[in-house]
Structure 1
Amino acid sequence: MPDEKKPDQEPDGKRPAAPERLDGLRVALVLGTAAGGLGRHVRAVAAGLAERGAGVVVCGPAATEESYGFTGPGVRFAEVDVADRPRPVQDARAVLRLRRLLADADVVHAHGLRAGALAIAATARVAPGPLRLSRGGAPVVVTLHNAVLAGGRTAAVYGALERVVARGAAMVLGVSPDLEERMRALHARRVGLALVPSPAPDAPPDPAARDRVRAALGAGERPLIVTVGRLADQKGLPTLLDAAAGWDRRAPKPLVAIAGDGPLRPELEARIGAEDLPVRLLGHRADVPDLLAAADVAVVPSVWEGQPLIVQEILRAGRPLVATRVGGIPVMVGADAALLVEPGEAEALERAVASVLDDPELAARLGAAALRRAGTLPTERDAVDQLAGIYRGLTERK
């Protein structure tokens, strides 16, 4: 990510050039079951490509369309059952369905490891083999949005999919440096860093939001620690609860608010009740900017992240941030816009948050650095600019 200038400025300070046109280019975007930032990112990319004249088809499960609404001017949706886990019979049907849908595409861009492998199989003109998958029809770009965190047989299956993507994709984009390094180690032909920007806020922050949200939460004068994310294993929430047990000994006792929902909710609720932790599960919130405005410190305790939209939102809100040193987070926050700790280290997380709560000057420095860093984040236009250049380069070489 850039460090100095804003992405929507030219180096000489002049207004940016007109966006590259893609008139007549036929682009197929393929994704599976999408949650959170991935679905919003693909929707923004599809709309941005269509605005530049491309004809776009988004291929994915019906539930994904229902959640994100990809269809719009220049964009149509085609249902394909791309599941989040290997299912041999259904996957074979998905490949056949994709083969028909992608036959006329000039370029195919798959989002996610499984979607990438299925798209490569669907565009192959020869029998799949370890060295022959690259001999397909339309060039395939694959963006990897997540690391493989599982072990055992699952890891072996996903390792095989990684090799398919590395050998068959014309270009692989990773949302974090570790994903790029993984693809280079597997000898992918071209590898780059994906741009996954958070949508720009619709309106400026509400000055009254802080007091209103704190009153609604019953925070009073207590420090408010906020985490936003899906209640899933990747998000490191058991570590957050471990740290909360330490914060419970402070005076005044902080309130930890976790916004989001997911499969771990019953387990987290049971532990919060059993240990009487100062933690509230807020469920899904449509007012995340207001929630961040009310926070004294924001925490991202994830086991792994790429370019999480919530980190971008925290930086834009100018809030002190404590996060884990994983995936793409260190690149996003730079040298001074967050305190970083190792994942799974509850004591380190507890101490880092306590240092922010105990030192108003540190909190102010982190908040100011967050706002400066937010000014360097890529925009949705930057993401579409990047992809337009990649697509043009690949199609001109066909």
Structure 2
Amino acid sequence: MKVRIPALLAVLAFVWVPLSGPVAVAADRPSVGLSKSQAGAGGSITVSGSDWGAKRLLMILICGQSVPSRGVVGGTNSCANADGRAVTTDAGGRFERGLPVVEPPRPCPCVVHVATVTGPKAAADAVLVVAGHSVEPLPKEAAGGRLSVLTDTRLDGSGTLLTWFGSPPARRLVFTVGNTGTTPVRNPVFQVGTAHGVFAPRWEEQQWRGTIAPGRKARVSLPVELPAGAHGDYAVSLKYGGRVLAEQPWGVGRPWGVTLFWILVCVVVPAAVFRAGMAVVDRVRPRRTSGRGGRHRGLRLPERAPRAPRPGPSGSRSAKPAPGSPALPWFTPDTDPGTPAAPQLSAPHENGPTTPTRRGNT
């Protein structure tokens, strides 16, 4: 019986993959290494890692109440956030960074926690013994029911006109959880955190009313609200039982209505003040009085005397006044001072010299 080589290789691959699968997956996961596994506060260590992806921004922190198998149990509040360090991986996904050793706010066991800031979400821990720091046992995991997120979370809702004028942005965090434990979970209390940029999230407890039986799932919707006037890049996190179950980015637009309001205030208020000032000045300034003792608001032009009529084209007689116009007592048509008097023709006087007349022959 002939055995074909391709079929034999396929069978060997099917048998080999389950045996070597976990090793291959572990090799693809990001890893963290420390130059020292124990150091005292005030010292420093070198943190290195690989398989983080090219040109990724990472955050390195020392956290208390943490073990690699359970992660950071107390969340970022258990870490020395003020003394963390940021690093960017190279083209091969590797990095190396010095880290000062400080005492975290929670007791040990402690780890060096490395998480991505940009790119796909990933995290890894390495055990670190902080000499001289207190050590306490970790809180026990809740027995029985255990919830896990089955599908991707999303934020439902949209902004309103009031949000455009600075009202608090609000959404609803919707996700599906399943009970992977052996006992039902009644009225679970979730923690919803909102973080701006690279700052630590602010957690708020919210209780969901209902019961999730073992092996069952439920659709959960929780309200999320930001402070008034918030804008920029935010991240909404969901935590249950000390574990972060999901994280959702949220880009909040700038409330341009507030900017428009202040622009209008800067334009309208000075104009109103100017108008009010001009009204006050108009009332308090002194008024000019007329010759009759009365008051008036504006200047009055002096009255002009009526102009005398000019002589007509004949030169001897002036034009007669128009019908209905009053006669001027100080002016007569025959005594216009501007024109020479015309000679008057009259009969000879009785006592005046007489001109001899020619007598004819009689």
- Sort the TM-score into its range (normalised by shorter chain): under 0.3
Q: TM-score by structure 2 length?
A: 0.19
Q: Which structure is larger by alpha-carbon Rg, 1 or 2?
A: 2
Structure whose residues are more often helix by fraction: 1
Q: Which has the higher contact order (CA 8 A, sep 6+)?
A: 1
